[in-house]
């Protein structure tokens, strides 16, 4: 009984110390990532207010301001330098609610970008959501000057 209580107290102490541990990376280890995107080939009357949510290694890092999908839009986020998984999800505003633009929600293609990339100190990703080709494409990715 005493041993069980001791282990419980030690486990609680370790969990509390882990919860207060600062996981923020120093500025030397973070990268500035700018993501630009736009929908091309939009059919008249089918344009939606759209925003892009960005995740790095499964963690939400930022989202763009909502704009008409035909307008160029961008979002800037901080990411750890090195190789990481980036996921970008486009959402449409319908009847006051944000909806993921994917085939499950009856869109003609998934407005999703999912890839592993090596992030230098400053990088830029350009995406095209092509309604005509029914696909999401990486137009370019590289180090920003």
* The two structure tokens encoding residue 12: 């609680």
- For residue 97, the model assigns a pLDDT of 96
Structural domains for the chain: 25-143 (2.60.40)
Q: What is the pTM of this model?
A: 0.76
C-alpha 135/C-alpha 123 separation (Å) is: 23
pLDDT at residue 139 in the model: 79
> What is the C-alpha separation between 16 and 48, in angstroms, rounded?
45
Measured CA angle at 35 (ends 136, 42), to 5 deg: 40
Q: What is the mean pLDDT of each run of 10 residues along the chain (145 residues)?
A: 61 50 53 93 90 96 96 95 94 95 88 92 90 79 69
Q: How many CB atoms lie within 10 A of CB 53?
A: 17
């Amino acid at each position: 009984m005493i041993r069980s209580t001791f282990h419980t107290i030690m486990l609680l102490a370790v969990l509390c110390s882990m919860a207060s541990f600062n996981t923020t990376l120093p500025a030397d280890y973070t990268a500035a990532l700018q993501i630009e995107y736009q929908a091309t080939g939009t059919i008249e009357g089918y344009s939606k207010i759209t925003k892009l949510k960005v995740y790095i290694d499964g963690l939400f890092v930022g989202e763009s301001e909502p704009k008409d999908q035909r307008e160029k839009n961008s979002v800037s986020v901080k990411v750890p330098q090195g190789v990481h998984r980036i996921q970008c999800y486009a959402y449409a505003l319908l009847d006051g609610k944000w909806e993921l633009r994917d085939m499950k929600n009856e869109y003609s293609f998934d407005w999703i970008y999912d890839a592993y990339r090596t992030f230098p100190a400053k990088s830029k990703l350009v995406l095209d959501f092509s309604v005509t080709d029914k696909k999401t494409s990486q137009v370019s990715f590289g180090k920003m000057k």
